[in-house]
Amino acid sequence: MENCDVTIVGGGSAGLAALKHLSSLGKQAILLEAGKEIGSKNVSGGILYSKKSNNGKIYNVEDIYGESFLNESPYERLITKYILNATSKDKIFSIDLTESHDYQTNFGVSVLLNKLNSWFAQEAQIEAEKLGGGIITGVHVRSLRWDEKSSKIIVETDELEEFETKVMIAADGVNSEIAEMTNAREKFSPSELYQGVKVLVKLPEKIIEERFNITNSDEGAAYLFAGDVSLNLIGGGFLYTNRDSLSIGGVYHYDSLLEHPIEPTEIVNAMLRNPLISELIKDDVPLKEIDKTLPKEEQVRKSFAITKLLNNWNELRQLYYSHKLKKKSIEDRKYTSEDEIKSKLDNLTQKLTNEYHTKFMTNYIELEYTTKLVPDGKRGRMKKPYYKNILFIGDAAGRGLFIGPRIEGLNVGIDDAARASIAIARSLDKNNFESNYLGDFYSQSIEQSPYTVDMKEIDKQYLGVILNSTRKKISPDALGFKHKLVFNLISNQGLRNFFISLINKYGYTRLLSFIESEDVYYKIPIKIADKLGTVKSSTYIPQIPTVQDRVAKLCYHEDTISHIKILNSGKNFLKKMVTLCPTKCYSLEGNDVVLQHEGCIECGTCSKETEWRHPRGEKGVLFKYG
Amino acid sequence: MTLNIAVIVKLEPDFSEGSVSYNPDGTLNRAETKSRLGAHSAIASLAAFYTKVKYGGYISICSMGPPMAEIALQEAQSISDADELHLYSDRLFASADTLATAEVLKQGIKKMNTGKEMDIVFSGHRASDGETGQTGPQTAWKLGFTFLGNVIDFSVDLNNRYIFAKRLVALPGFYDIVEEIQAPLPVFIAIDPSYKPTFDTISLRLTSGRYLKEAKERAVNYKSYLNVLDHKKLELDPRLVGLPGSPTIVHKVEKIPKARTTRSAELIEGDDRQGIINSVTKILQLIQK
Ligand SMILES: Cc1cc2nc3c(=O)[nH]c(=O)nc-3n(C[C@H](O)[C@H](O)[C@H](O)COP(=O)(O)OP(=O)(O)OC[C@H]3O[C@@H](n4cnc5c(N)ncnc54)[C@H](O)[C@@H]3O)c2cc1C
Ligand code: SF4
């Protein structure tokens, strides 16, 4: 049987950071990823943060991948504007939260995970290879057992011969099968989870900069949304600017969704229909129409010709609106000047309009639809994130950090990865993988992480910064009697500190249901927008695709065998999945719920009461952007 | 100990839609049709890659053809991570039949890897553009190597210098047989189109990943791996190559006319309800018939 020192299961941002860091520490490790390519299974909002803290060391992305991360990695935009928008119908009230965003932050960059994780993988592979390790994709870990004598883990996969490993890092995400097969933790309960939904909208680079008042082309904005866009659910929306696309979606408490099931697409649709957002995403969208009265062969010929012209039009338009591409094409002498590109683009537009009767309408273009569960670290993080010689990191360990406007999982997983790598390197040096040497050391290190502290306690200073930003724009009178009282109380620094000390002592988690309440998420924002907001109007009605259209755009490598098994088709939980599955894989037949696994995007929403596994290696959905 | 591996590949017309072009009389328009590495040659390259990953080895790839055939070598290198590319190109080689071609290939193979003897020579099952499947066996005979055709799987015993191979023997109209063979090295293997390598251990996966990356990098600089050899460099007797070396007398060439399309496609837009109903009705009627 083959063997290796360290096996990392899962090639998301957490697992990849572990591979890179272990290799930097001179330890050989292999990483197994079920997806056909790295990045094809990972989803985020997403902003990747680098943070600092008074509570201790944080291992940031630049600690793992080098100080030149910002110069070399394919991130989208450096976020320099952070706005919270309260919504009520067509009224919007915006509060600038950039100061709270910058609180203890080195930087925050918008990212698309497929691209970013591929870059992480490339960097990690170079180091791992030198030590005889590396990344193996298309391999799904199916089960584990322990050699009684050596305590090594024997790993069984769907694709490879079984092999032995001294130690393992489980970085297999929120729906961790390693956690389930070892019973290291229970499946997360609905109150410990959020459902994240996102659509990626295409928009040319320069238009993004104009609409969001961005002056430096590498910078970008992030908007958060609370109020009626959340459809009376506990959660909120986000809109992040990428280089030439916008990430739009929401993150919602899963128990709130189970209580009032609503189709996940409706959550993003509510965002897209908000007049502020519809105006931000609008674009000229060509409508390919073919005269049906023409002979069939002529129709086909025309259709081919229009498709070709439209492809050229799209390419040229992307070039025209992109700083880098435009500059390069002129440097490469493909075009002599910006004017030439413009006139070629105009000619193409005219040709399409006049010769092929193509209409250009105001609408928006979606590139990808994604959904995934995210663990809430405040409630669900593993208190002891290990089992025997397996260490859990990232989403697999339940370590998402969601506090007010803070939505962080990527950076937390990277911090975990560094801590796990250090613990393992120490164990390898001493050849001691006992729980009291490896697991406990890692567990202590995780407890000391400033992120864990943030999951356990309210940070007085941070709350103060948020309240300051809010106070600048909102008079407490706008809040109504009850909320005005609370607001005034916590605005007083002395009282605030007293209350927070009390809360932190009493147990922050016990009070979470009061803090993360309907009032905070939508009642107060609606009230504020109603009273103080300005009316926004939309100049068009966005034509929103159906779920079927959205699914049809995704790429799949279908497995004939279903990776999900229904345990009891008559159960109430499954009936809710008919609504809550983002791709409508569940339907009702009489009183029974049936599942059609084709089309599943592996979000995990149905995993609580099903036998749920990831598809076999290379199978299932392949996200192009993530 | 590692293996010396040779692969014979061929540039072929790309018959895929959008690449192929026909003359008005239905014959292939070679000038207009794009060319690329033949599908069977690609499988042979893959078998060589597997051998290199599993046992270690030095891969030399050769092709006889016009100068543009180097693109087939480049593609084969990107699949196999070849260490050396040979192109046998000479006007004298024109109009060669299978025997004359085999003569050139034999001589080339003897010159591979600074003249070391090859352990395994791979070729495709056959070419798609009117070859008769005889070049392989004839080259093997000229080299004095055991010929194994239709190989679907193989393993090598490096110490005892044996190969174990599985051959797919199809008995048309009856059934297929998988024949297991043991043969001493060197051998000439014509790989079956159904061959699929499996990299099913961690070390095979890691090594294949590393070699594949190397292969892509090498293929970008393929010219620095390329040796173009004419009949002089190959030390070939001009009487044994090209037309003079071809004993085959072509009795008659059957033109393969471009097949008339027997299907007629009807285009229905997704929103054309009546159109969809009509075609479903038509299909149902046909099934009932
Ligand atoms: C809509 C949304 C918005 C978000 N916004 C943000 C944000 O703005 N900022 C932020 O920091 N975080 C955000 N997050 C959270 C963040 O995306 C996650 O915390 C992070 O991606 C988790 O990374 P991970 O490596 O732990 O897990 P994953 O990325 O889920 O990786 C797990 C990997 O393991 C593989 N795998 C699973 N099982 C097996 C197996 N048995 N064998 C082999 N491989 C296996 C999977 O294929 C997958 O690639 C957001 C999440 C969502 C859904
Ligand atoms: S079947 Fe389950 S995991 Fe798949 S998309 Fe639907 S809810 Fe998500």
Residue to mutate (ligand 2; options A370, A602, A619; most atoms within 8 A of CB): A602
Which pLDDT value is given to residue A294?
Answer: 87
Geometric angle at alpha carbon A16, from B50 and A67, rounded to 5°: 120
Q: Which chain A residues contact residue B203 at CB under 8 A?
A: 2
User: Which stretches of chain A sit within 8 Å of chain B by CB?
Assistant: 2, 4, 30, 129, 132-136, 139, 159-161, 163, 292, 296, 299-300
The lowest-confidence range among A302-316, A481-495, A536-550, A611-625 is A481-495
How far is A509 from chain B, CA to nearest CA, in Å? 44
Percent of chain A with pLDDT over 70: 100
Which pLDDT value is given to residue B267?
Answer: 78
Assess whether pLDDT exceeds 60 at residue B129: no
Ligand 2 pocket member A621 (CB < 6 A): no
Which pLDDT value is given to residue A460?
Answer: 86
Please give the radius of gyration of chain B, using alpha carbons only, rounded to the nearest integer.
22
Percent of chain B with pLDDT over 90: 62
Ligand 2 pocket member A605 (CB < 6 A): yes
A34-86: per-residue pLDDT in tens? 999 999 999 999 899 999 999 999 999 999 999 999 999 999 999 999 999 99
Which pLDDT value is given to residue A253?
Answer: 95
Percent of chain B with pLDDT over 70: 90
B55-103: per-residue pLDDT in tens? 999 999 999 999 999 999 999 999 999 999 999 999 999 878 888 899 9
For ligand 1, the distance from its centroid to the CA atom of residue A319, given in whole angstroms, is 32
HSE value, Cβ hemisphere, 13 Å, CA-based, for A506: 10
For ligand 2, the distance from its centroid to the CA atom of residue A178, given in whole angstroms, is 19
Nearest to A428 by CA among A167, A617, A240, A188: A167
**Domains in chain A with CATH codes:** 2-75+111-185+382-456 (3.50.50.60), 77-109+190-282+364-375+520-546 (3.30.9), 291-361 (no CATH), 460-516 (no CATH), 554-622 (3.30.70)
A12-33: per-residue pLDDT in tens? 999 999 999 999 999 999 999 9
**Mean per-residue pLDDT, B8-21:** 79
Q: Could you identify the residue written with the tokens 């932190």?
A: A504
Distance, CA of A54 to CA of A104 (rounded, Å): 9
Structure token pair of residue A41: 């299974």
Assess whether pLDDT exceeds 90 at residue A405: no
A491-521: per-residue pLDDT in tens? 777 877 777 887 887 777 777 877 788 888 8
For ligand 2, the distance from its centroid to the CA atom of residue A608, given in whole angstroms, is 11
Structure token pair of residue A560: 């004939």
Which pLDDT value is given to residue B88?
Answer: 97
The overall average pLDDT reported for chain B is 89
CA-nearest residue for atom 2, ligand 2, is: A606
**DSSP per position, A557-585:** E--SS-SEEES-TT-HHHHHHHHH-TT--
Assess whether pLDDT exceeds 90 at residue A420: yes
How far is B26 from chain A, CA to nearest CA, in Å? 22
Ligand 2 pocket member A620 (CB < 6 A): no
A327-368: per-residue pLDDT in tens? 999 999 999 999 999 999 999 999 999 999 999 999 999 999
User: Which stretches of chain B sit within 8 Å of chain A by CB?
Assistant: 200-203, 205-206, 209-210, 266-267, 269
**Mean per-residue pLDDT, A471-489:** 75
Assess whether pLDDT exceeds 70 at residue B263: no
Pick from A134, A135, A161: CB nearest B201: A161
Ligand 2 pocket member A551 (CB < 6 A): no
- Cα-Cα-Cα-Cα torsion A519, A521, A524, A525, nearest 10 degrees, comes to -170
pLDDT-based confidence at residue A161 (cuts at 50, 70, 90): very high
Ligand 1 pocket member A47 (CB < 6 A): yes
From the CA of A605, give the closest atom in ligand 2: 7
Nearest to A618 by CA among A120, A40, A142, A14: A40
Ligand 1 pocket member A470 (CB < 6 A): no
Assess whether pLDDT exceeds 90 at residue A247: yes
For ligand 1, the distance from its centroid to the CA atom of residue B187, given in whole angstroms, is 50
**Domains in chain B with CATH codes:** 3-240 (3.40.50.620)
The lowest-confidence range among A270-274, A469-473, B136-140 is A469-473
Assess whether pLDDT exceeds 80 at residue A490: no
B100-119: per-residue pLDDT in tens? 899 999 999 999 999 999 99
Residue to mutate (ligand 2; options A559, A565, A578, A583; most atoms within 8 A of CB): A583
Q: Are strands A406-408 and A401-403 parallel, antiparallel or unpaired?
A: antiparallel
**Mean per-residue pLDDT, A462-473:** 84
Which pLDDT value is given to residue B257?
Answer: 54
Distance, CA of B246 to CA of B80 (rounded, Å): 32
| Chain-centroid distance, C-alpha A63 | 22
pLDDT-based confidence at residue B248 (cuts at 50, 70, 90): confident
Q: Which residues contact residue A13 at a Cβ distance below 8 angstroms, ignoring those fewer than 6 apart?
A: A42, A44, A48, A113, A116, A117, A120, A394, A410, A413, A414
Indicate yes or no: CB of B200 within 8 angstroms of CB of A4.
Answer: no
The lowest-confidence range among A51-55, A374-378, A468-472, A562-566 is A468-472
Kindly identify which residue of chain B lies nearest to residue A3, measuring between CA atoms: B202
**Torsion-angle region of A132 (φ positive above 0: left; ψ -120 to 50: alpha; else: beta):** left
Ligand 2 pocket member A585 (CB < 6 A): yes
Which pLDDT value is given to residue B253?
Answer: 64
Nearest ligand to the C-alpha atom of residue A158: 1
From the CA of A16, give the closest atom in ligand 1: 25
The overall average pLDDT reported for chain A is 94
Nearest to A9 by CA among A33, A27, A25, A28: A33
Assess whether pLDDT exceeds 80 at residue B128: no
Task: For residue B281, count CB atoms less than 10 angstroms from its CB and return exposed for 0-12, middle for 13-18, buried for 19 or more.
Answer: exposed
Kindly identify which residue of chain B lies nearest to residue A131, measuring between CA atoms: B206
Assess whether pLDDT exceeds 60 at residue A525: yes
Kindly identify which residue of chain B lies nearest to residue A134, measuring between CA atoms: B206
Which pLDDT value is given to residue B131?
Answer: 61
- Cα-Cα-Cα-Cα torsion A491, A495, A498, A499, nearest 10 degrees, comes to -60
For ligand 1, the distance from its centroid to the CA atom of residue A249, given in whole angstroms, is 16
How many other β-carbons are positioned within 10 Å of the β-carbon of residue B265?
8
Assess whether pLDDT exceeds 70 at residue B130: no
**Mean per-residue pLDDT, B155-159:** 96
For ligand 2, the distance from its centroid to the CA atom of residue A588, given in whole angstroms, is 15
